[in-house]
Structure 1
Amino acid sequence: MKLIYCLPLVLLALSACSTAPVDQTGTSSEPPADAGDIALQPLRVPALTALPETPARALAGKYQAVNWGALPGWQADSLDHVWKGFINNCKGLMRPVSGSLAMPARANPRAWQPVCQAAASAGLDADSRDTAAIRQFLQEQLQPWRLLTGDGQIAQNTVTGYYEPLLQASRSRSGQYQWPLFAAPQDLLTIDLGSLYPELAGKRIRGKQVGKRVVPYDTREQIVANADRQPPVIVYAQDPVEGFFLQIQGSGRAVLPDGSAVRLAYADHNGRPYASVGQWLAKQGEMPLAQTSMQNIKAWAQRNPHRVQEMMNVNTAMVFFREERIVDPELGPKGAYGIPLIGERAVAIDPTYVPLGTPVFLSTTYPGSGQPLRRLVFAQDTGAAIKGAARTDFYWGTGDQAGAQAGRMKQKGEMWLLWPRNAGVPSAR
């Protein structure tokens, strides 16, 4: 998934973002696997006794119970893809939690066990479009809770957007396919600082061993320049700027010359800080900062092919990928919850207010307009810049159209958590 959650505008992602690529968005706490694997498995709901109780995690928000009629536009939501999302979400909910404070807060599996059991026996196919039956199930099983701030005020916050880039690539280096996208190198070390210092739980550094010392891992420039010791190449991108932008997003799809596609999912990074190529171009006098969109940077690269690598080397951070099969074109990469995202049905949230795995009703507007965008979504991702009550990043899906929507989105929004009706106030583990 995404490396840096700074895409309210493409301009911001390429010129104004300064979040370092640490604690990766979209990094699943689950073992690495193909993004679609969980979607291929049937929903298995264990007995309640098989889900151990773990200590509760404190949430920073407050929650006000309301009836379904209080949700603006609820009856107008077509609920397309919601049942597939709900079943997949239950597959995530029914995994026992580890209780590790290094992981983002998750919805309490024991609270969800009866609801997921009811979903498994509801008689609805995973691809069901039976809107009436789905709406009835949700209203019978779930209770809406309006999200409030810690001091009890209605939580309203910024809603930005993100997406899964699509680029043209080849397995072999030839012709226009010259820009490598790497798998993780074997000599990359990840050191978990929390294992030594509990106050640094969740903090990690990357490096490599040189003799008896661990030193910072190579910069982008060093990796590219050292042809004899480069990491394995998965594919070669046709366009350098698109390949670079895919690294900022942290995941994407590569379309090969035969028309097939593979997903490049985030695997790791070199631990170096992110730097803005847009700001570099502006300081070089190549274009005004306000014009450093991806499209303008691509045009500059086409006019200055001899300076493209120089430009990219400004950003010392390098992302490494792993290849995943695409088993369902409707499913995107995995978010931080380890569940494949569905376009326009998944969001990134701050898990200190909304536990991962929680269905949410989001009320906002379409990018650059006042047209209402109100729908049920699933809290399945997190991000370094997604902090605060109701702060949200809306996943638009795959490709250029999704990217155009994501790049323009910087709206205001509010949300309601949809929680098991008989489980009390939303809780986290």
Structure 2
Amino acid sequence: MIRAFRAALAAAHLGLICLAGGAALSETSMKILSFEDLEGWAADDHEAARQVFLNTCADLDAPDWQTLCAAATGIQDARKFFELLFRPVLIEEDGKEALFTGYFEPELDGALSPSGRYRFPVYRMPREARSGQWLTRRQIETSGAMQGRGLEIAWVDDSVELFFLQIQGSGRIRLPNGSYVRVGYGGSNGHNYSSVGAELVRRGVYSAHQVSAQVIKNWVKRNPSAGAELLRHNDSFVFFREVSRVPAHKGPLGAMNRSITEMRTVAVDPKFTPLGAPVWVEKDGATSLRRLMIAQDTGSAIKGAQRADIFFGTGDAAGLEAGKLKDPGRMIVLLPIQRAYAMLPESVL
């Protein structure tokens, strides 16, 4: 009976532990830890993590997750809630070390009408781009294909910041009256992303360790003509949609279509980490971090069992901090008890 239960549950969640392309399970190792193995666990604010977990747990459809959601408010002690109903699972890929980076929500200055200051449009997706690969960034910006069609959500005052808004995929636009328009990812032109930082390294302008978002921004602004050409090296172009139902004081929408939370939301690879799961982060580097976060987002560059992106919040200060982060450590996923044991190879039971 135990073997049959394990086989059924493991089959249901096979996508969480297989590598892309159907790679063998032997390439991924899983180990159940105790909470005593989590460095700094007792010192964290578990109630803060529980509140973030509650924000998205209702969207988890599997019965075991729904049982946990129902119990999430019934156990007064948040630390006890996690320790009673979850098990920490370390999921690793052979030969791949952990890497933590950061991301943020940009905040741009803009207006709902163009002017001498606000000249750079934030576009909705045109219908032609929905069918696959469309025009390149250069063609979109120089051919006039977007003009006169009412596709502008707003106009902003900085083309470089708009480029990085496209990289982040969402952001806020601060209007002259102090109100905000929030925009989220609305689609792309279907072309692959090409790193402008890597292009600067290839040209010999900077070495790899010198490149950051701020360095790129500064170089483009110092070299307007060459900078515009550099940005057009990236054929990918992102379109947006207005996300008016999210209040300005809340975080942007993540992959679960719920607001994400500063320093409590982490973007993960859902092939290994279920969206909505609590994740214990042990980040090393210049500034260590030991914190329980919730896997509420994904990212095109976030691939692997030990790859994660920490959400730093909104605005320039958050962007500066997020841009500095490139640290080692380890990530441990908290899974419902039966699910955790079902994922283990039979040889360890």
TM-score category (smaller protein):
0.7 to 0.9
| Cα distance change, pair 81–256 in 1 and its aligned pair in 2 (3 A) | farther
Q: Does 1:114 align with 2:67?
A: yes
Report the counterpart of residue 51 of structure 2 in structure 1: 84
Greater displacement, 333-342 / 290-299 = 290-299
Q: Does 1:344 align with 2:285?
A: no
Aligned match for 2:81, one of 129, 132, 137: 137
| Cα distance change, pair 229–83 in 1 and its aligned pair in 2 (3 A) | same
Looking at structure 2, the residues matched to 426 and 162 of structure 1 have their Cα atoms a distance apart, in angstroms, of: 33
Per-residue Cα deviation, 1:359-414 (whole angstroms, up to 9, x for no partner): 1111113xx51x43011111222333322331222121211222122111111111
Looking at structure 2, the residues matched to 268 and 289 of structure 1 have their Cα atoms a distance apart, in angstroms, of: 32
Q: Which AA in structure 2 matches 1:75? A: A
Looking at structure 1, the residues matched to 262 and 138 of structure 2 have their Cα atoms a distance apart, in angstroms, of: 35
Give secondary structure in 2 for the equivalent of 1:387. coil
Equivalent residue runs for 1:188-337 within 5 Å = 188-190=129-131, 206-207=132-133, 217-227=134-144, 229-230=146-147, 232-278=151-197, 287-288=205-206, 293-305=212-224, 309-325=228-244, 327-329=246-248, 331-337=250-256
Aligned match for 1:64, one of 17, 21, 31: 31
Query: Contact 1:262 / 1:326 at 8 angstroms: preserved in 2?
Result: no
Q: Does 1:417 align with 2:333?
A: yes
Give secondary structure in 1 for the equivalent of 2:191. coil
Query: Contact 1:331 / 1:343 at 8 angstroms: preserved in 2?
Result: no
TM-score by length of 1: 0.67
Per-residue Cα deviation, 1:106-162 (whole angstroms, up to 9, x for no partner): xxx12212111112555xxxxxxxxx72222222222222x14366x9x85111111
Query: Contact 1:156 / 1:389 at 8 angstroms: preserved in 2?
Result: no
Deviation at 1:88, TM superposition (A): 1.5
Q: Does 1:159 align with 2:72?
A: no
Give secondary structure in 1 for the equivalent of 2:256. coil
Report the counterpart of residue 168 of structure 1 in structure 2: 109
Deviation at 1:331, TM superposition (A): 3.7
Deviation at 1:420, TM superposition (A): 2.2
Deviation at 1:338, TM superposition (A): 3.0
More helix by share: 2
Larger relative contact order (Cα-Cα within 8 Å, sequence gap ≥ 6): 1
Looking at structure 1, the residues matched to 130 and 65 of structure 2 have their Cα atoms a distance apart, in angstroms, of: 37
Looking at structure 1, the residues matched to 178 and 342 of structure 2 have their Cα atoms a distance apart, in angstroms, of: 45
- Output the aligned Cα RMSD: 2.9
Per-residue Cα deviation, 1:52-85 (whole angstroms, up to 9, x for no partner): x994324144433333222110111123632331
% identity of equivalent residues: 40
| Cα distance change, pair 75–330 in 1 and its aligned pair in 2 (3 A) | farther
Query: Contact 1:171 / 1:235 at 8 angstroms: preserved in 2?
Result: yes
Deviation at 1:307, TM superposition (A): 5.3
Query: Contact 1:279 / 1:289 at 8 angstroms: preserved in 2?
Result: no
Per-residue Cα deviation, 1:309-353 (whole angstroms, up to 9, x for no partner): 444333222100001126345643333333322111111222232
Looking at structure 1, the residues matched to 325 and 303 of structure 2 have their Cα atoms a distance apart, in angstroms, of: 17
| Cα distance change, pair 55–419 in 1 and its aligned pair in 2 (3 A) | closer
Equivalent residue runs for 1:47-62 within 5 Å = 55-58=12-15, 59-60=17-18, 61-62=28-29
Alignment length (residue pairs): 321
Report the counterpart of residue 93 of structure 1 in structure 2: 60
Q: Which AA in structure 2 matches 1:135? A: R
Looking at structure 2, the residues matched to 292 and 139 of structure 1 have their Cα atoms a distance apart, in angstroms, of: 41
